């Protein structure tokens, strides 16, 4: 507002300006693509950006339709109560007079029809472009009811005496047009709200990347916007900052949290020559990197593009509805014309009046008011029932599709004295594995000791003195630096790693003393949930970025049918599409940014409520507790 107050001077909020080159598409007809905003030539709906920008404001159409609903809903309710009063013993027409009663309904219904004018515009577009859809019938049906009622109100003498009441008035259908339009408007508001949340998924992805990067030029450093970066630029990344773009570390060491991209919780040690990915979080050290991929070529940008593409893809039910509409709409119009012709030929006098009433009746009855009511009602009921079971449902389609799913893809599930020495060292470390070792020592009541001369060797381990004893904890590289032989325990180390554990050597006073292993424990509820899903007829496939040995170990423990390890976000997305190409109906359960493209591409995406926001926004179903048992509850629901 401060930058451009005029942009907000109108009655409606203005959409945020889109970047140059933005393409727009129709939510109902994704084959319609153009380089500027406007209306769909097939159905008249407002076109939306194919990829929302990170700073996009509220959808103007959503705000507009919500305001239209607040105005029209009370008016439609009032005209409905007036017309239906006679059916429940409240004769409003007798109390106020039939003529005034008709004009009162006209006064209430007319603002509803005028305010819902966009629906008639869409209907007209569908007729002009020979693309019949639900807007065709809604516009024809409600328009016919409204116009018929006006003629009936203004010139009741045009209709045969048999149609008139004792006061000489003919029936009006103002309440039919008003109520149907408001029901459709409710459906549109709910659909627009769901699409607004869909855009939040992509914006959450975009927010992972920082807005600026610290570029080093000729020895000086300055913060510059990301769009000014070029391949080969030298960038400094300080502790706690997000890596701005993909590139290679050229100077320094650090521990980088890549969980938002890889899904794996343990930060990765980075030294000179190692690659880093934009959007990941630098934990401990400061380093200099050389920019590799920038702009749309970064891993994060490619993930954004994949999510946007998957969200724009058409559901099979949409294609089926379009095919039905291609026949249904002309059939209804044809039936109305046929009714008119038959009444003209065979009907009693006055034939034109009877024929007109018969034709309009067909249009009114065939108007698909269920399209405006059934879907919102099913969404509300399913959402309410599901919420009580810890299952949040994005839309009715996701729940309907889940009943047909036959493949479920899940992400990977990741001596006292010796432990006392290891814990003493790790109390001085900020490495993520340190907390697990300290907690494990406390759980096992290992003696508590203090370490002195603590030293962290980046990428290798830690060294220190505990009660006068020199202790080292780390990987094989650290042991080699200290000239400590590890061959005696190499087989044991390999077995631990094959069981899915992260194992480290412990050396005391220059000699190898043992191993400490850390594992991401399987939840107690998981085995039972896997058995239940198998009983429900689902094939369980694990897709994880973890190592093959770890994944195979967990799969063997849980009885998972198929394992794919070491997968990137693109690989997971490709796995989903490959299974779909084999005729499978696929559900994907995940909790990280790396899962977002696959969640959006799957027939049903299932997000863990404990996971990343973007995973939740990309999924049709969210499990509040992040428990696989929720998938089974969703299947039963």
Active site (catalytic) residues = 411
- Nearest-CA neighbor of 247 among 215, 275, 226? 275
CA 601 – CA 598 distance, rounded (Å): 5
Residue 588 DSSP SS3: strand
CA 27 – CA 541 distance, rounded (Å): 32
Residues 300 and 279 sit within 8 Å (Cβ to Cβ): yes
- Nearest-CA neighbor of 463 among 488, 426, 408? 426
The secondary structure of 395-427 as a DSSP string is: -HHHHHHHTT--EEEE-----HHHHHHHHHHHT
Residues 132 and 325 sit within 8 Å (Cβ to Cβ): yes
Which residue do the tokens 């209709």 mark? Answer: 159
Bridge partners of residue 212, in order along the sequence: 225
CA 383 – CA 620 distance, rounded (Å): 11
Which residue do the tokens 């249009």 mark? Answer: 363
* Cβ partners under 8 Å of residue 407, min gap 6: 538, 539, 541, 579, 584, 585, 586, 587
Residues 215 and 234 sit within 8 Å (Cβ to Cβ): yes
- Nearest-CA neighbor of 136 among 126, 146, 128? 126
> What are the respective helix, strand and coil percentages of the chain, to the nearest 5?
50, 15, 30
Question: What are the start-end ranges of the H helices in 267-402?
Answer: 299-312, 316-346, 351-366, 369-388, 396-402
Based on the number of CB atoms within 10 Å of its own CB, is 222 exposed (0-12), middle (13-18) or buried (19 or more)?
exposed
Residues 446 and 474 sit within 8 Å (Cβ to Cβ): no
Residues 261 and 572 sit within 8 Å (Cβ to Cβ): no
CA 104 – CA 252 distance, rounded (Å): 79
CA 270 – CA 485 distance, rounded (Å): 25
Query: Peptide bond before 218: cis, by omega within 30 degrees of 0?
Result: no
């Amino acid at each position: 507002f401060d930058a451009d107050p005029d942009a907000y001077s109108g009655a409606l909020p203005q959409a945020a300006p889109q970047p140059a080159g933005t393409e727009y598409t129709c939510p109902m007809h994704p084959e319609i693509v153009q380089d500027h905003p406007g209306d769909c030539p097939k159905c008249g709906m407002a076109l939306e950006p194919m990829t929302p920008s990170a700073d996009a404001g509220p959808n103007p159409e959503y705000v507009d339709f919500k305001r239209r609903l607040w105005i029209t809903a009370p008016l439609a309710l009032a005209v409905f109560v007036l017309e239906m009063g006679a059916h429940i013993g409240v004769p409003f027409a007798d109390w106020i007079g039939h003529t005034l009663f008709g004009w009162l309904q006209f006064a209430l219904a007319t603002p509803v029809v005028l305010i819902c004018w966009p629906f008639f515009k869409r209907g007209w577009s569908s007729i002009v472009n020979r693309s019949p859809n639900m807007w065709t019938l809604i516009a024809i049906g409600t328009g016919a009811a409204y116009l018929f009622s006006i003629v009936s109100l203004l010139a009741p003498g045009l209709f045969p005496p048999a149609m008139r009441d004792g006061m000489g008035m003919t029936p009006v259908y103002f309440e039919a047009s008003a109520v149907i339009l408001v029901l459709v408007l409710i459906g549109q508001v709910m659909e627009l709200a769901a699409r607004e949340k869909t855009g939040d998924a992509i914006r959450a992805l975009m927010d992972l990347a920082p807005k600026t990067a610290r570029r080093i030029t000729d020895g000086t450093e300055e913060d510059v916007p990301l769009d000014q970066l070029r391949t080969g630029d030298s960038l400094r990344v300080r502790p706690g900052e997000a890596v701005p773009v993909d590139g290679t570390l050229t100077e320094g060491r650090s521990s980088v949290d890549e969980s938002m991209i890889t899904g794996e919780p343990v930060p990765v040690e980075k030294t000179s020559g190692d690659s880093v990915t934009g959007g990941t979080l630098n934990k401990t050290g400061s380093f200099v990197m050389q920019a590799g991929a920038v702009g749309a070529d970064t891993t994060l940008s490619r993930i954004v593009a994949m999510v946007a593409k998957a969200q724009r893809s058409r559901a099979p039910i949409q294609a089926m509805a379009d095919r039905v509409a291609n026949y249904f709409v002309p059939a209804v119009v044809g039936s109305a014309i046929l009714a008119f012709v038959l009444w003209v030929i065979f009907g009693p006098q006055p034939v034109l009046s009877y024929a007109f009433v018969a034709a309009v009746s067909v249009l009114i009855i065939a108007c698909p008011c269920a399209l405006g009511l059934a879907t919102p009602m099913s969404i509300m009921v399913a959402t309410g029932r599901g919420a009580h079971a810890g299952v949040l449902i994005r839309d009715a389609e996701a729940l309907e599709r889940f009943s047909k799913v036959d493949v479920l893809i899940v992400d990977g599930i990741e001596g006292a004295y010796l432990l006392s020495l290891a814990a003493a060292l790790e109390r001085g470390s900020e490495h993520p594995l340190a907390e697990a070792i300290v907690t494990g020592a406390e759980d096992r009541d290992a003696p508590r000791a203090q370490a002195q001369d603590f030293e962290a060797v980046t990428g290798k381990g830690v060294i220190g003195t505990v009660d006068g004893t020199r202790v080292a904890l780390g990987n094989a590289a650290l042991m080699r630096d200290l000239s400590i032989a590890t061959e005696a325990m190499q087989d044991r180390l390999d077995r631990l790693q094959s069981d899915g554990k992260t194992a480290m050597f412990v050396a005391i006073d220059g000699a190898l003393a043992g191993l400490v292993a850390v594992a991401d424990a399987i939840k107690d509820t998981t085995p039972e949930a896997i058995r239940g899903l198998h009983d429900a007829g689902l094939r369980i496939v694990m897709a994880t970025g973890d190592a093959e040995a770890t994944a195979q170990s967990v799969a063997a423990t849980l009885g998972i049918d198929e394992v794919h390890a070491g997968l990137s976000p693109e690989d997971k997305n490709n796995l989903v599409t490959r299974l779909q190409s084999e005729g499978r109906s696929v559900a994907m359960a995940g909790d990280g940014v790396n899962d977002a493209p696959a969640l959006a591409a799957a027939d049903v995406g299932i997000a863990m409520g404990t996971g990343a926001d973007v995973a939740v926004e990309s999924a049709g179903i969210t499990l509040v507790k992040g428990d696989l048992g929720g998938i089974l509850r969703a299947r039963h629901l």
